[in-house]
Structure 1
Amino acid sequence: MPESQATRFLKRAESYLKQTKYKEALAHADQAILLEPKNTAAYTLRAAIKIDMGEYKAGIVDCDRALAVNPNWAEALAKKALALYSLEQYAPALAAATRAVSLNANDAEAWYLRGICLEETGKSEEAEVAYAKSLELEIILDIKEESRHVRK
């Protein structure tokens, strides 16, 4: 199946985000949303861009837009947890991170966010479990990435 125009805009937006070219990244994410207004990945990417820029409340709005389309979009929940944590709203951040890991148990970032939120809410022992899971997943991801390079 040919790649959609919205997908091409999203790939460019991701590339610009990696380069911290936020203006360009936002412009491309906006284009993807214009082309596909129900694209959860586009809203989540735009949220990530805004969060990287320190625009946490605007990032939450885009996460909520993605979640309105798909309430089980784990990536949007993880990004929302990050934005809420950055705003020092630890209890709602913990709820979002917990929901994210319940939907995608292989998301190392969501597990880490859950850990720091648990720590901020005084649940150090539970935080250690979440940190351990995050580290375990990071190691697995590193091994998989390394094996891909070896096979090339």
Structure 2
Amino acid sequence: MPVSEVLSRLLKRAGLYVRQTKYREALALYDQAIQIDPKNSESWCLRASAKIEMGTYAEAIADCDRAIAINPNYADAWSKKGLALYYLEQYAAALAASIRAVSLNANDASAWYIKGICLEEMGKSEEAEIAYAKSLELEIILDIKDENKRNRT
């Protein structure tokens, strides 16, 4: 079986564990994926997501940094890093990471939301409202697209 297929299967199984809140099991699979291909930025980013869910924010940031070192233009890694930094109350750094995420993917509703909550924490309510509005707009668009997909099948 090709390495890419093995990685894909590991990441899918790990994702199922995350959805079931079985984070330790998910981390074990992400660790396997990273051992197989340590230069796969997606594995690092997904492991960071699980670590955020577990509340191990500093570890999540380290994983995001690894993903970003591999691919500096990986918007999701920047977004996850922003969220972890937010939880650590490092609002300026979180804002910078979310701005980077939005600059790489203007359609990332989560990055816009993280940007908004950081701006709000920093006392920039008007700017926060703009970011929140963009996040909500994107969520509505995504919901409509999902609904259209469900109706076609």
Partner of 1:124: 125
Task: Please say if 1:34 is aligned against 2:35.
Answer: yes
Q: Equivalent residue of 1:76, what SS?
A: helix
Partner of 1:133: 134
Aligned-residue RMSD, C-alpha:
1.2
Give the CA deviation at 1:64.
0.3
Give the CA deviation at 1:52.
0.4
Pairwise mapping of residues 52-131 of structure 1 onto structure 2 (< 5 A)? 52-131=53-132
Partner of 1:150: 151
Partner of 1:6: 7
Letter in 1 for 2:93: P
CA distance in 2, matches of 1:90, 1:131: 16
Structure 2: segments with no counterpart, 5+ residues? none
Give the CA deviation at 1:33.
0.7
Letter in 2 for 1:127: A
Give the CA deviation at 1:72.
1.0
The TM-score, its normalising length taken from structure 1, stands at 0.97
Give the CA deviation at 1:102.
0.5
CA distance in 2, matches of 1:30, 1:4: 16
Give the CA deviation at 1:30.
0.7
Partner of 1:23: 24
User: Hey, which bits of structure 1, 4+ residues long, moved more than 2 A?
Assistant: none
Q: 1:47 to 1:70 in 2, by over 3 A?
A: same
The TM-score, its normalising length taken from structure 2, stands at 0.97
Q: Equivalent residue of 2:117, what SS?
A: helix
Aligned residues: 152
% identical equivalent positions: 65
CA distance in 1, matches of 2:57, 2:24: 16
Give the CA deviation at 1:122.
1.2
Q: 1:2 to 1:86 in 2, by over 3 A?
A: closer
Give the CA deviation at 1:2.
9.1
Q: Equivalent residue of 1:105, what SS?
A: coil
